[in-house]
Structures are given as structure tokens and as C-alpha cells.
A and B are shown apart, each in its own frame.
Chain A
Amino acid sequence: MRLMRSVKHRNFSFWNLFSHPEVTIALVTGICAVAFASFFLNFATPDSAQVIFTVAGTDAMVGVGETMLLISGELDLSVGTVFALAPFLMNAFYGQGIPILIAFLMALLLMGVIGLTNGYVTAKLGVPALITTLGMFFLIRGLTLIVSNFHLITLPNIEPFRSVVGSAVIFDTIPIPMVWAVGITIVVALMLQRTRHGLWTVATGSNPTGAGEVGVNTVRTKIYNFMLAAILAGLAGIIQAMRIGSAEPLQGGFDLTLGSIAASAVGGTSLLGGSGTIIGTLIGSLLFGIFRDGLIIGGASEIVYEMALGTAVVLSVALNVLLIGRRGRSGRQT
């Protein structure tokens, strides 16, 4: 894909810029931020930025995992409940006298097992991902309810673990979840662009049969991405729970799942597989955070936010399809 781009840059025009989906979404995000800042004085303040970064940080982590899966041509609906389960497992291990860091890693390991199951059933047994992960969504939600007995828990307040994993704020502006999100975005973006796994992911998503013919292990590639998505969702769940200091069995849920798909799609990832951008997903999550924060500061309610979000998702994806279509790299189906 990178090769294709450098070839096409020979006749550079204004529209070429917009063929990078990240550029469109970054522009929209920038305009939104400037607009909110000029309308509402409270918007461009450290407090407000902290709110935006906190929300966007956890959403972006889940979104990045979802993006890798979407690029490999699959989808995970269960991330929202995996997000809720992870802190309960970590707390249960810690309650057994296991050191918190080991408990943390064990919880993430189990998230990996969930991802492995999703991947095995989908890629190996041939059940469509939407069904596998819909089933997993229900399964994990039930497990969370059983483990928690529908009770909220307070998480252990151990320093420095709690600060590093959730509650610290750098320069009074940047919450640690955002640092995690940016770090993960960079690592996964490099993985997508520079490693064999990244290349195989794009190949698997754009042409599974062809990729298989030339020796790409499409099954393993997909399974790895399912595991990545589940682990990142679990990590985000633990980070959110450690930041607040408590965990709730219904946190995340289907809204988080939909939000992660929406962030990927708005960021410029195709739902058809084979093309996508990790940085776009981070910017997409930031856009949602800015929208929510700006509308609430402006006196609108959460209700207006949901309506605006729905409209924005559809419009931005339509715009991306249109702009990509303009360059002849068609994403069109009908």
C-alpha cells in the first residue's frame, strides 16, 4: 500500500491529500476543537483537556485492537464486555494473595485466551466473526455478572501500580490513560507498517484466498489480531477501573463495542478489510471525546451528544467513501 502511494504522488494535487483518511478526520477534529474553543471559554482549559483525554484514551485503546481486526477482515463485538470482565479477574486474583502486578498480567493472559477462542472459532472452524463474538459478548457478560454477583467492587489502592496504570495526571493536563493510548497507537501502527504481521494482516484482509496461496498463514494472522483486540480491551478496562478506583459489572458494554467500531470507521478504516489506519482510530476517538466534552460544556446534554455522534459517524464515513472514490481507489460495492 505504501508503494502504491509513493507512485501516485507523482501528480500531486489537492485531492491527493484527502486520500489519506487520517488527514480528513484530523482536519474535522481540528475544526471542531477550534470551534468549541472559540464558542465556549471553558473548553480550552487543562480541566477540559483532561476530560477529553481520559475518555478518548480508553476508547482509543479498544479502538486500536478493533482496527487491526477490521483490517484483517474480521470484527469483534465482544470487546465491550471483555472490557468489563478484566478488572474483576485482576481483583479476584489479587484477593487470592497474588501480587498485583502478577494478577494484572494473569488477567491480561486470560483476555488473550478469550481472543484465542474467538479467533479459533472464527478462523479455524469457519463461524462468521459477527456470530462468534456476539456469542462471546453474551458469554463474557454472564461471566462478569457471576464473578461480581452484580456488585460494584473497590480496587486495591497500591502505589505505584495505581498511578502508573490509571490515576496519574502529567502536567495537570494529560491523564495516564492517554499516555497508554498514544504508546499503544505508536507500537501497533509500527507493527502494521513495518512488521511481517502487519503486512500479513493487510494481505489477509484484502485478499484472503490470494494471501493464502502465496504462503500467508491467514488463520494465525487472524487469531493473533483477535488476541490483540481482547488484550487491549481488557487493558483498557483495567486502566479505567484503576483510574476510578472501582469496577462495575456493566461498564463498557455494547456502547463501547459500537464506539470502537465507529472510531475505526470514522478514522478511515474500511469495514471490508484490507485497509485501515491506527492513527486514524486514535484521532477518531479524540474527535468523539471533543464532541462530547464540547457539547456538555456548551450546555447540551448527553442526549444531544448521542444524536450528534450518530450523524457524525454516518457523514464522515460517507465523506471518506466519496473522497476515496474520487481517486479511483474505490471502496464502492453497489
Chain B
Amino acid sequence: MRAIPRKYTIRDFLSLREGAVVLVTAVMIAGFTSLNASFFTLSNSKVLADFVAGNVAVAAAQVMLMVVGEIDLSVGQVYALSPYIMYLVYQDGLGFKVGIPVAILAAALVGLINGIVTVRLHVPSLIATLGMGFFLSGFNIYISNGWYQIMPEKQPYTAVFGGGVIAGIDVTYLWTAVAIIVLAIVLARMRHGVWSIATGSNLFGSREVGVNIRRTKIMNFILASVIAGLWGIFIANRGFTFGASGVADPAQGGDTLTLESIAAAVIGGTSLLGGSGTIIGAFAGSLLIAVLQDGLILVGAGAYIYQTLLGAAIIFSMALNIQARKWARR
């Protein structure tokens, strides 16, 4: 919406929400490559892609929620719930054909409940989804007895939902690319995106001009849950892509996924205050986390330091981002 400046400078780049994180990620990739040449190889890019593909769609959905001024702490548990429900239905002899839709519906139901509790009962979403997270982590263990289950049978539906490979590329990568592009277009160009931004930036004002703020919020809660459930199914079916079996693991995802999805969204430049967010930023944030995690292992820094540096990276990049944007706008 800003007028196009006559000459692009570093200030313009840094005034972009994604600017700082893209810069930091690029520097990190260059740094890790100079320390260990095998970082910049095809086989390692597959490692990075696997991490990003499992994580970024959830982060993008988290961005959509943050844009309307809400947050979802239960996505990590939905990520484990959906594949297990798929497994249970499959186990009943109904197959994946019924199992996958039922699993997605279950995820949508979770999102609907989160949305209704937040919007209708006026419970802050942090608490509503925190409660949902506790409930689901108990529920996941309740339905699974705490055991993972192996799904040996490959069916056409599992190939579509994460178990297939097209021209050497996992379908999960394609799904992820589609999700990122579609969500970016929805947020930037479609009515739902405009409504989301309006709802997040000025709740009462946007209601006055006819935005259905309740439905917008609930839709985004459902979106976040469905995406978490769907990508949980993709990851459960991932074993099929290299000739192994699918695994429905009730411990998959969890708080780690929730925290990393929030981290990716905010590193990417999405504001927690609502009204502003970027899907591409979530992608860059997710890539930054993957690069950090993978690069530290490749240079032999040990696994423990990863969390320390991730934490430091979050704090520093955000402080830098805010200071840089202040400087760029001066």
C-alpha cells in the first residue's frame, strides 16, 4: 500500500516485516556452508525440507489466527489426534477412505470448539486453547493407551495424504507449497484475508462496517485445527514414501510443535497484537529454525546447544527486527 520509492535501499528492505529474518537466514546458511560443505547439498536440503514441510503450514495457520488477534496452543495435540483417529477408523475395517475425512472432521470440531469458547463465551484464546491442549493430551493417551500403532497397508488415499512420491518429490512438499501460496493469497487478496486483518486491527470498527468478526475468528480457529490435523496425517503417512509403514503416534507434535509454530510465525514478523501478519515470513521463520537445528548438528556443536541458540535467535532477531523497523521508518 506504500507508494513505490524511487530507489530501493537497505532501509526499504528492512522495513519489510520479513526483511530481517530473510537476511539472518541467508547469513546462517552461508555460515554453516563455510563450516561444513555438506550443508549445501541435495541430501541435506531434503532434511531441511522434511522439517519445514512438517511445520510451516501449522505456522502459517498460526499467522492467520494471530492476524485476528488470537492464538492456538492446542495445534500440537491436534497434530497427534487426527492421525490416531484415522488409524482407529481404518482399524474398524472402514479403511483410509472413511478414516481420513473423519480425522479431518474431528480436527475441525476441535477448532470449532476453540472458536466458540473464545468468541461466544469470551474466554481469552490463550486460556481456551490451553485448556483444549490439556484435554487433548489426556484424550490422545486415553484413546491410544499411550502406544503408537503401525499402519502396514498402503492404500491409494495414503499416497495422496502424505504417503506418495510424485517425480521424486514427496506429496507433503507439494501440499505444503500449495498451502503456503493459497494462504498468502487469501491473506493478501481475498475477502477473508481483508476481514481477518480488519478484525485484528480494529475489532469494533470493523464490526461497525459490517465485518462478521465472530465468523472470521471461528473460521481461522477451524483453519488452524484442520491444517494441524491434516499435516499430522501427512507426517504419520510419511513412512510410506520410503517403503516403510505409516505410524500413528500419540506423542507426535505436542508442545514442541505448538511452540515452534508460534516461534516461526513471530520470527517471520507477525505481530501478536493482531492486524498484521505475513505467511511468507512464517516460511522464512520455519526455514530459519530448520537451518539452525540442522546446521548445528552438521558442524558438530551438539544437540543441547540448539535450544539455547534458538532461544537467543528468537530474542535477538525480534529485538533487531523492531529496532531495524524503527530505524527504517525514521
Q: Do A and B bind each other?
A: yes
A→B interface (CB under 8 Å): 75, 121, 125-128, 130-132, 134-143, 145-146, 149-150, 253-255, 258, 261-262, 265, 271-272, 302-314, 317-318, 321-322, 325, 331-334
CB nearest to B326 among chain A residues: A126
Min CB–CB distance A66 → chain B (angstroms):
12
Complex contacts, A310 vs chain B, CB 8 Å: 130-136, 138
B130 touches A261 (CB 8 A): yes
Of B2-10, B91-99, B114-122, B190-198, the segment with at least 4 beta carbons within 8 Å of chain A is B114-122
Q: Is the CB–CB distance between A134 and B263 below 8 Å?
A: yes
Choose from A139, A143, A303, A332 the contact partner of B142 (Cβ within 8 Å): A303
Q: Per DSSP, are chain A's interface residues mostly helix, strand or loop, or mixed?
A: helix
A272-B124, A306-B135, A311-B135 as given contacts; A146 in contact with B318, CB under 8 Å: no
Interface string of B258-281 (1 = CB under 8 A from A): 010011001000011100000000
Are B307 and A271 neighbours in the complex by a CB distance under 8 Å? no
A-B contacts, 28 of them at CB < 8 A, read A125-B319, A125-B323, A127-B315, A127-B322, A128-B318, A130-B71, A131-B266, A131-B314, A132-B315, A135-B311, A138-B263, A139-B308, A139-B315, A142-B311, A146-B305, A255-B255, A261-B127, A262-B130, A271-B126, A271-B127, A272-B124, A307-B138, A309-B134, A310-B136, A311-B135, A314-B117, A314-B131, A317-B127
Contact of A334 among B122, B272, B323 (CB under 8 A): B122
- Whether B137 sits at the interface, judged by CB under 8 Å, is yes
Tell me how far the C-beta of A318 lies from the nearest C-beta in chain B, rounded to whole angstroms: 4
Question: A307 with B127: in contact, given A146-B304, A146-B305, A334-B214 (CB under 8 Å)?
Answer: no
Measured between alpha carbons, how far is A9 from B318 in the docked complex, in Å?
47
A305 to B310, CA, bound (A): 32
* Complexed CA–CA distance, A329 and B195 (Å): 29
Chain B: minimal CB distance from A308 (Å): 8
- Which residues of B127-183 have CB atoms within 8 Å of chain A's CB atoms? 127-128, 130-139, 141-142
Assess whether A313 is in contact with B130, with CB atoms less than 8 Å apart.
yes
Q: How far is the CA of A236 from the CA of B285 in the complex (A)?
A: 34
Q: Which residues of B contact A (CB under 8 A)?
A: 71, 73, 117, 119, 121-124, 126-128, 130-139, 141-142, 203, 213-214, 217, 255, 259, 262-263, 266, 271-273, 304-315, 318-319, 322-323
Instruction: Tell me which residues across on chain A come within 8 A of B322, comparing CB atoms.
Output: 125-127
Asked if residues B307 and A141 are in contact (CB atoms below 8 Å), the reply is yes
Does the CB pair A140–B311 fall under 8 Å?
A: yes
Contact partner, B127, options A125, A137, A309, A314, Cβ 8 Å: A314
| B304 lies within 8 A of A150 (CB) | yes
Collect the chain B residues with CB atoms within 8 Å of residue A306's CB: 134-135, 137-138, 141
Q: Are A138 and B308 neighbours in the complex by a CB distance under 8 Å?
A: yes
Q: Is the CB of A333 within 8 A of B142?
A: no
| A305–B135 alpha-carbon span in the complex (Å) | 9
Smallest beta-carbon distance A126→chain B, Å: 5
- The 6 A-B pairs with the shortest beta carbon distances in the complex, nearest first, are A139-B311, A142-B308, A310-B135, A306-B138, A135-B314, A310-B134
Find chain A residues with CB under 8 A from B313 CB.
Answer: 135
Chain B hits for A313, CB < 8 A:
127, 130-131, 134
Which residue of chain A lies nearest to B199 when distances are taken between CB atoms in the complex? Answer: A334
Contact B130 A254 (CB under 8 A): no
User: From A306, which residue of chain B is reached at the shortest CB distance?
Assistant: B138
